[in-house]
A and B are shown apart, each in its own frame.
Chain A
């Protein structure tokens, strides 16, 4: 498959009054179409910064980011940031409103997504009525509403309890695969990364460089929850754990 995104020698410096912090030393990797890539690394290593730069929220300090076509990006933040004063549907239409793209077809597409992914009864409810897992699903549909080609997921599940987290990672994985999207996910959870990804980019501690890139080959690969039972799972887990070199 073709690369749809190439990142080469990406670097980022943060400047404050007290000095500068080098978040990214040099990060290079590529992303293929419909691939699911995870970025793991020690906390504070600058993984989220990569997504912020890709989404255009931060300027890069050096390096190159090349999209092979005019691809659009959807960014799913760590915090669901649902607007409490808008209904679930209106929250999902936010991106379309902003891009002046709120056509009848687009609205129907969003309603279809909500119905398909178990939120039919909550379309006209306010977010306060939803559980944490549902909120996350709404946030994903809000991201999907503008039909982006590449999804960026920033610790999207980390605010949830362990049970909901397993369930929602299954849901989100299914939605992404069914809608045929390419995804780049940042996570600190090694197991989550192995269970969902085609490839895993392991970063060093700050300033980050790419330590290793794993191709995840599981026999009998299905859904994230199922994948955790594959026999290669613990091998990958051990290797990545060692790469991260966590000293407590």
Chain B
């Protein structure tokens, strides 16, 4: 469903130090696949997600969703296909807007924002029942500004928001790195449940090796902007935590 063909991205070209973040990368992601990406700092993981999301265009190569080339579409245009969970749990929500208003935007992610009052009793009800599954009691605080919630709560809500509108691809950029272990667990569990429930295609970039053993249907290791290892679901089940750890020490 998602294809990356000969993607290269260099930062500060011609200057020292020139940083080759991705180097002629080819990657095919099937619909419904849950791809986990690991790699050392500077291996190109974040660049990969940013290129998919449209933060910047690739220098060379093309990206496809289905048969559509999206390499040079702006970020806000690509949001029609994908939702994103950021590394900073505060990035995915607007702090001065209420929980309800944040969810309203999420529900309109793939459509236009018109001059009509879209928040009605029915919408309020549907958001409340969606949030109730978190078991955080937030369904009774829909008018509360998002900024008053904790990072863990906000990341969990961001995750729920991503499935409010049709979502073909879920991008997760170290979504738990700023959360305490309990909240990290909760967010990963919720992501896993939603991905199964909605049959989403998902990409998770993570440094938590435990997560890349536990979650996902495919595992790749990036090294210096190239795919160094690519494990299918079956292979991934065989791999152990120490083995993955050794990938990083160059063994």
A interacts with B? no
Partner-B contacts on A (CB < 8 A):
none
Partner-A contacts on B (CB < 8 A):
none
